[in-house]
Amino acid sequence: LGEYHVPVHADVPHMDIILLENFDEYASPIGAKGAGEIGIVGVAAAIANAVYHATGVRVRELPITPDKLMGKGALA
């Protein structure tokens, strides 16, 4: 895990942002709509599974910290 490449802002390709002037009174009180919330739902579970596969320790609460892993014997 020490040499794992963590993606950073520079790894994201250029995107053109287009603002749409389309007010929807039924979306929310201010007319805002969601765009990418559903994509983040499985992230914590995926990270927890990766930690489990790397260490053999199942972590079921966030944040996942080294002291929690050491307490369960993974990093001892």
Please tell me the predicted confidence (pLDDT) of residue 73.
62
Please tell me the predicted confidence (pLDDT) of residue 48.
93
In a domain, 30, yes or no: yes
Full domain range(s) for residue 31: 9-71
Query: Is the distance from CB of 33 to CB of 27 less than 8 angstroms?
Result: yes
In a domain, 65, yes or no: yes
Please tell me the predicted confidence (pLDDT) of residue 47.
92
Could you give the number of structural domains in the chain? Answer: 1
Segments of the chain with pLDDT less than 50: none
Write down the catalytic residue from 3, 21, 25, 37: 37
In a domain, 76, yes or no: no
Q: Is 37 a catalytic residue?
A: yes
In a domain, 2, yes or no: no
In a domain, 23, yes or no: yes
